[in-house]
Chain A
Amino acid sequence: MNPAFSVIFLTTLSGAGQGLLLALYGAEVAARLDVIDAPAHRDFYALGSLVAVGLAGLGLVASFFHLGRPGRAWRSVAMWRTSWLSREVIALPAFMAATALYGLAHYLGGRGTIAIGLAATVMCIALFVCTGMIYACIRFLQEWSSPLTVVNFFVLGTASGLTLAAAFSARTAPALARDFATIALLTTFAGLCTRSMSLVRNARLRRRSTIQTAIGIRHPQIRQKSQGAMGGSFNTREFFHGKSLAFVRHVKWAFLLTAFAIPLVLLYVAGARASAPGLSSAFAIQLLGLMAERWYFFAEAKHPQNLYYQAIS
């Protein structure tokens, strides 16, 4: 597939916002249960929710650039019964609204925040599932068609949100920064494990479609001689990234380094001292790394239609 930057920004930014909400709500529940000391000021939640809504909103804006006809985008709520994309279109604004309400409730004095936060958390998880299922439900894109896809969207989004929470709390509620950094570290490590699992899985995939099933001729030697157009087509532009194998491999190692390895080190080192610059750079690097991860996620997927576009002439 040819990675679309609109979708890369949508999924990474919104994922970070969703993770941040989970971190905020988790901290509030933990504080109520006396597991951790309550944060100093209610503005911590209000401001944090604002950041989460802002990130999700940026993702929403980015998603419009994916559409050929953004003016008709409102129509996409129609088919929620069958389409995961339609469900995501509903879940994203619902998550933003619930998160905004959660922040507002904290800002106005903190009444009913547990219930509103629970609603926001449910919407958050629903949004993660919708986003993941958009890709996982296409069964012939075998790289994506796996529960690991949904798990990765959830764990990687949560990890970046927790890293953001650590960076954010280092400035606003330093007492929480160490706890956030520790949980972010564990979640990032979990993300490294689940993402590596899908990398290993995809490296061992057996293609169900071959050129033989594509044109229905059972002969071991089939070569394409022409694809019906010499100037390219939608099929060659949408489903091929056009980069060399070496480039794709470099992106893989780059994202393993920037989305996981470097943030893990920074979270460990800066988390111990609750250093705001260290944790902020951990988040920035991890977010960039996850964008590279998302690029690779698309580039790695080989659409069966590519079998029909192996040679120009």
Chain B
Amino acid sequence: MTQLALVIDLNVCVGCHACVTSCKEWNTSGSAGPLADIRPYDRDPTGTFFNRVQTFEVGEYPSTETVHFPKSCLHCEDPPCVPVCPTGASYKRKEDGIVLVDYDKCIGCKYCAWACPWGVREIDEARHEMTKCTLCVDRIYDEALPPSDRRPACVMACPTSARLFGDIHDPESDVAKAIRGCGGYQLMPEWGTNPSNHYLPRRKTEVRIAADQVVRADNPLKKDGKLPKPGLNEPSLDDATSW
């Protein structure tokens, strides 16, 4: 069984909001209709977004870390927002596990938003329908696009490749390997909804160099003694010196 999902690497995300704007651009241009923009050029602009990047500061000054945290629908394997929907507008696709809203059936009662612990569903205040991340379902299966473009708009936009997309149930997929290899975790696991989107934790990035790695012991030029041996403080280049 396929379960498409995003894996978001918090170690790499720089908080540029490119995924936010790209998501909005793609999804406001789709056949489902535009996403509301209220007072876009005025005071307190607001509107519908499927994806938001938030920023948290972890630790006590001065030893703090800034964590940029993109948040969108997690496409839970057991989504609490689906069974509460009175009309059946909210559903989870069997074939690929995407949680979707059938906008034509939605009555805008907002009950599904109440039933989502992460607050990733937003009512569109112009359309009066519940909207949410679709994992760009109108894009990832579009055979008019080249295969490399059949990915969600946010994934395409990410300049640091902090967002991976794939089938987490396929153990050989990039996302499954990333979850396994980098300690991918779920948000609020305490509610047992089994979110499909995973996050990769921050990692300590250190460069460790041993003393013998500074000097290339097996430099063939040095072995053959073809070049004069320069002083220790002189600049060294593989092709030019024996250091």
Binding site for B on A (CB under 8 A): 1, 66-70, 72-73, 75-79, 82-86, 89, 134, 137-141, 208-209, 211, 213-217, 219, 221-235, 238-239, 303-306, 308-309
Q: Is the CB of B87 within 8 A of A79?
A: yes
Q: What's the minimum C-beta distance from B199 to chain A, rounded to whole angstroms?
A: 6
Q: What's the minimum C-beta distance from B21 to chain A, rounded to whole angstroms?
A: 11
Q: What's the minimum C-beta distance from A286 to chain B, rounded to whole angstroms?
A: 28
Q: Among A79, A213, A215, A305, point to the contact of B119 (Cβ < 8 A).
A: A305
Q: Is the CB of A85 within 8 A of B49?
A: no
Give the chain A neighbours of B86 by CB distance below 8 A.
Answer: 75-79, 83, 85-86, 89
Q: Mark B172-210, 1 if CB is under 8 A from A, else 0.
A: 000000000000011111110000000101100000000
Q: Among B84, B119, B129, B188, point to the contact of A84 (Cβ < 8 A).
A: B84
Give the chain B neighbours of A77 by CB distance below 8 A.
Answer: 86
| Other contacts beyond A68-B127, A231-B39, A308-B54: 4, CB < 8 A | A72-B105, A83-B111, A217-B67, A308-B118
Kindly report which residue of chain A lies nearest to residue B20, judged by CB atoms: A228
Q: Among B54, B110, B118, point to the contact of A238 (Cβ < 8 A).
A: B110
Q: Is the CB of B199 within 8 A of A303?
A: no
Q: Is the CB of B56 within 8 A of A138?
A: no
- In whole angstroms, what is the CA distance A33 to B129 when docked? 53
Give the chain B neighbours of A138 by CB distance below 8 A.
Answer: 80, 84, 114-115
Kindly report which residue of chain A lies nearest to residue B187, judged by CB atoms: A216
Q: Among B46, B59, B109, B118, point to the contact of A232 (Cβ < 8 A).
A: B46
Asked if B230 is at the interface of the complex by the 8 Å CB criterion, the answer is: no
Binding site for A on B (CB under 8 A): 17, 20, 39, 43-46, 48-49, 52-60, 66-67, 69, 71, 80, 82-89, 105-111, 113-119, 122-123, 125, 127-129, 185-191, 199, 201-202
Q: What's the minimum C-beta distance from A6 to chain B, rounded to whole angstroms?
A: 10
- In whole angstroms, what is the CA distance A211 to B55 when docked? 12
- In whole angstroms, what is the CA distance A209 to B54 when docked? 18
Q: Among B59, B88, B185, B201, point to the contact of A221 (Cβ < 8 A).
A: B59
- In whole angstroms, what is the CA distance A77 to B57 when docked? 46
Q: Is the CB of A226 within 8 A of B54?
A: yes
Q: What's the minimum C-beta distance from B237 to chain A, rounded to whole angstroms?
A: 44
Give the chain B neighbours of A134 by CB distance below 8 A.
Answer: 111
Known contacts A79-B88, A228-B20; decide if A69 and B129 are in contact (CB<8 Å).
Answer: yes
- In whole angstroms, what is the CA distance A234 to B199 when docked? 24
Give the chain A neighbours of B109 by CB distance below 8 A.
Answer: 66-68, 76, 85
Give the chain A neighbours of B106 by CB distance below 8 A.
Answer: 68-69, 72
Known contacts A67-B108, A140-B191, A209-B190; decide if A78 and B88 are in contact (CB<8 Å).
Answer: yes
Q: What's the minimum C-beta distance from A303 to chain B, rounded to whole angstroms?
A: 7
Q: Is the CB of B48 within 8 A of A67?
A: no
Q: What's the minimum C-beta distance from A140 to chain B, rounded to whole angstroms?
A: 5
Known contacts A79-B88, A83-B86; decide if A303 and B190 are in contact (CB<8 Å).
Answer: no
Give the chain A neighbours of B127 by CB distance below 8 A.
Answer: 68
- In whole angstroms, what is the CA distance A223 to B69 when docked? 12
Q: Is the CB of A226 within 8 A of B55?
A: yes
Q: Among A82, A219, A305, A309, point to the contact of B58 (Cβ < 8 A).
A: A219
Give the chain B neighbours of A70 by CB distance below 8 A.
Answer: 107
Give the chain A neighbours of B125 by CB distance below 8 A.
Answer: 234
Q: Is the CB of A216 within 8 A of B199?
A: yes
Q: Is the CB of A82 within 8 A of B84?
A: yes
Q: Is the CB of B59 within 8 A of A219?
A: yes
Chain A to chain B contacts (Cβ below 8 Å), 30 pairs: A66-B109, A66-B110, A67-B107, A67-B109, A68-B108, A68-B127, A69-B106, A75-B89, A76-B109, A78-B86, A79-B87, A84-B84, A85-B109, A85-B111, A138-B80, A140-B188, A215-B56, A217-B67, A219-B59, A225-B66, A227-B52, A228-B49, A228-B71, A229-B52, A231-B44, A232-B44, A238-B110, A238-B113, A238-B123, A239-B119
